[in-house]
Amino acid sequence: MRIAMITETFLPSTDGVVTRLCASIRWLRSEGHEVMVIAPDHGIKEYEGAIVAGIPAYNFFLYKEDRKFSFYSKKVKKYLKTFNPDIVHAVNPSFLGVTGIYYAKRLKLPLMASYHTHVPKYADYYNFSYLKPAMWTYFKTLHNRASLNLCTSNTVLGELREKGFRNVHLWKRGVDTKQFHPGFYSEEMRERLTGGKTDKTLLIFVSRLAAEKEIERVKPLLTQSDDYCLAIVGDGPNRETLEKEFAGTNTIFTGFMHGEELAQAYASSDVFVFPSTTETLGLVLMEAMASGLPVLAAKSGPTAEQVADGETGVLFDPADPAHILRAAAQLKIKEVRAKMGQRAHEEIQSVGWDESAAQLMDYYYETLSVHKESSKK
């Protein structure tokens, strides 16, 4: 099959969407399928034998970091006509994806879309709450142009259906259990992440640093107890604000980490903290669990699907600022942390990328079938 993926983000970015796409592309290519990725142009021309077709990219006012987006471009039509795909997959359509949807419909190509980011929920963190109804209408309209839609958690599946998104299905989670493993523990990395205070309980947070990630919720653990260190792994528009917020606490900012360095950071820590309630899945949760870490997470639909409270981690009430202190107290004993971390590691071993990618292929075939039937009407 010839598959065209149109995505708002791709390499060298390393967020959860890109990680999922890369894993899917590797599997699709290994199965003999042809893939073209149409994405903002960041100099990448090829990935695992898949063509990467770049679209001129520009700064967007909401992102102060060096992250660029692509908007309407007739190049998308040119790429689609040249590649002549059997199916078009619009990944998280919002800007560039709009062009992909438009030309896929104009060229009468089968179209599938996948929903990965709760953009309307982000409005609360950027003083745009009044736009949420319009944003939901916008994304619903885009996705309902597709024959079939995917999302990454049962909670979001229910939300989208309630909002009027049609033909929505669950795309299974996945994680690289070889890349993330307790065996990557490193004394040198632990020394680095704790600032030399290796005897303290090391909390680790991995994410792009933005307001909606709500890392400030972890601060009471550091101000009301001297037992903890926090390593914030990542970068983004909110870094300067966070550095001021956490000044005077046992907090280390590392910037982005990748590959083995990131695997060592997970495996050398004690607890993974996940304070956000805006995620549609949280790939980093699974990376941490694969690394043998118990999770301390804000309770939400997607986190409750991933973390068994009291078994593989502890969930806290994000509406109660003091509850994180009580929740974290359950993880103070080293033996308890080790037991939860072991359970987390064992549970996640059955969650690989191959099954997720194979399921995606099944959805492509289903999209072709739905498109064929609708074309007869």
CATH number of the structural domain spanning residue 15: 3.40.50.2000
Residues 223 and 343 grouped into a single domain: yes
Q: Which of 6, 307, 349 is nearest to 145 (CA)?
A: 6
pLDDT in tens, the chain (377 residues): 999 999 999 999 989 999 999 999 999 999 999 999 999 999 999 999 999 999 998 876 555 555 578 988 999 999 999 999 999 999 999 999 999 999 999 999 999 999 999 999 888 888 889 999 999 999 999 999 999 999 999 999 999 999 999 999 999 999 999 999 999 999 999 999 999 999 999 999 999 999 999 999 999 999 999 999 999 999 999 999 999 999 999 999 999 999 999 999 999 999 999 999 999 999 999 999 999 999 999 999 999 999 999 999 999 999 999 999 999 999 999 999 999 999 999 999 999 999 999 999 999 999 999 999 888 76
Residues 113 and 224 grouped into a single domain: no
Q: What is the tally of structural domains in the chain?
A: 2
Q: What is the pLDDT of residue 375?
A: 81
Which residues, including other chains, have CB under 8 Å from residue 202's CB and lie 6 or more apart? Answer: 190, 193, 194, 228, 229, 230, 231, 268, 269, 270, 271
Residues 78 and 147 grouped into a single domain: yes
Strand extents, DSSP E, 41-136? 46-47, 50-55, 58-59, 68-69, 87-91, 111-115
Residues 77 and 213 grouped into a single domain: no
Residues 74 and 187 grouped into a single domain: no
> For residues 44 and 11, what is the distance between their CA atoms, to the nearest angstrom?
7
Residues 190 and 170 grouped into a single domain: no
Residues 223 and 329 grouped into a single domain: yes
In Å, what is the CA distance from 90 to each residue of 64, 150, 353?
26, 10, 20
Residues 257 and 357 grouped into a single domain: no
Residues 222 and 186 grouped into a single domain: yes
DSSP assigned state of 166: -
Q: Is the sign of the CA dihedral 305, 204, 206, 326 positive or negative?
A: positive
Residues 202 and 275 grouped into a single domain: yes
Q: Which of 225, 358, 353, 340 is nearest to 288 (CA)?
A: 340
Half-sphere exposure of 46 (CA within 13 A, CB side): 4
Residues 156 and 259 grouped into a single domain: no
Domain of 134 in residue numbering reads as 2-174+352-376
> For residues 269 and 146, what is the distance between their CA atoms, to the nearest angstrom?
42
Residues 204 and 323 grouped into a single domain: yes
